[in-house]
Amino acid sequence: MTILDEIIDHKRREIETPGYFQTLDAVLENLPHVGNSDPCRDGKIPATGHPDFIAALKSVPIGLIAEVKRKSPSAGLIREPFDPAEIARVYQTAGAQAVSCLMDARFFGGGEEQWMKVRAATSLPMLYKEFVIDPRQIFHAEALGASAVLFIAAVLNDAALKKMIRLCEASGMTPLVEVHTEEEMKRAIAAGAACIGINNRNLKTFETTIETTLRLRALAPSDCTLISESGIRTADEVKRLCDAGVSAVLVGESLLRKADLAGAVRELTTLHSNEKPL
């Protein structure tokens, strides 16, 4: 069993735990009383409306989706002390275009509480980064104020992937379909994905190389929004990806390991000040 198999197996059991979708439950409880109450009272439920994820990424030569992530199975604990709200504030102030927030608690140290702290600290579009296997997770993302939802092609069959994409779009959010291989890229395109994230991490070896993005991008339609994920560490790599037509990069660990988080963000966004927005 791979680590991805282990995560998905646990996720199937986790989402059936009573009270798992806390914010979604709260939203549903308030629906019959919308005219008489404010579901956003006390800051418990985000205000409605989702900042445009794609527009934000394309407002600059190459967008930066900066990730809030406490730990990972491959890297262990990434940042200590870990203050998700402060991290999000720094990301926005230093020039990121969007924030990715991990939802998985067991393997990545994320969750709804962490999301809410980040959401309260930034006005940037947020990516609900989760192992989505159930439509209820899409409604959960919407209730939390997400602008985009991650779908991993490797864990969804063709019918489920197409269904998730359509449901996400109908909910007013951007479906970001993550692929690792040529086969997954072709499946994502066939399912109607207009925003595709190419993960540079080999799921068998956990090694990363941006050559994966540069190789797979040739298969994508010209009007597809491409995002390169994992293993991006330097401004030179960001420039190579920009020159190759990639719209954005998703970076977490290499930022979070830097003591000067703001400086690390500014280093990866140097193209913003050197070139005119696309």
Q: Structural domain tally of the chain? A: 1
268 occurs within a structural domain:
yes
Q: What does the mean pLDDT of the chain come to?
A: 90
Nearest residue to 100 (alpha-carbon basis) of 136, 130, 75: 130
Q: 26 to each of 11, 13, 72, 108, 238, how far by Cα in Å?
A: 21, 21, 29, 25, 41
24 occurs within a structural domain:
no
Per-residue pLDDT reduced to its tens digit, 172-195: 999 999 999 999 999 999 999 999
**Which range of residues forms the domain containing residue 64?**
3-15+52-273
CA angle 190, 196, 201 (to 5 degrees): 115
Q: Percent of the chain, pLDDT > 70? A: 91
117 occurs within a structural domain:
yes
46 occurs within a structural domain:
no
* Residue-wise burial string across 74-93, b where 16 or more C-beta atoms lie within 10 A, e elsewhere: eeeebbeebebbebbebbbe
For residues 27-32, average pLDDT: 68
pLDDT (0 to 100) of residue 113: 95
Is the pLDDT at 261 greater than 90? The verdict is yes
98 occurs within a structural domain:
yes
Indicate which CATH number applies to the domain containing 180. Answer: 3.20.20.70
40 occurs within a structural domain:
no
For residues 152-169, average pLDDT: 97
Contact 153, 161 (CB under 8 A): yes
Hey, CA dihedral for 271, 273, 274, 278, is it positive or negative?
Answer: positive
Tell me the CB-side half-sphere exposure of residue 3, using CA atoms within 13 A: 12
Q: 12 to each of 120, 131, 134, 150, 240, how far by Cα in Å?
A: 29, 10, 9, 17, 38
Is the pLDDT at 202 greater than 60? The verdict is yes
Is the pLDDT at 97 greater than 70? The verdict is yes
pLDDT (0 to 100) of residue 46: 43
113 occurs within a structural domain:
yes
pLDDT (0 to 100) of residue 105: 95
37 occurs within a structural domain:
no
- Separation CA 133–CA 215 (nearest Å): 28
- Separation CA 177–CA 192 (nearest Å): 10
Is the pLDDT at 218 greater than 90? The verdict is yes
Contact 132, 150 (CB under 8 A): yes
- Residue written as tokens 């990730």? 67
Instruction: List residues bridging with 178 in a β-sheet.
Output: 152, 197
Instruction: List residues bridging with 199 in a β-sheet.
Output: 229
Is the pLDDT at 47 greater than 70? The verdict is no
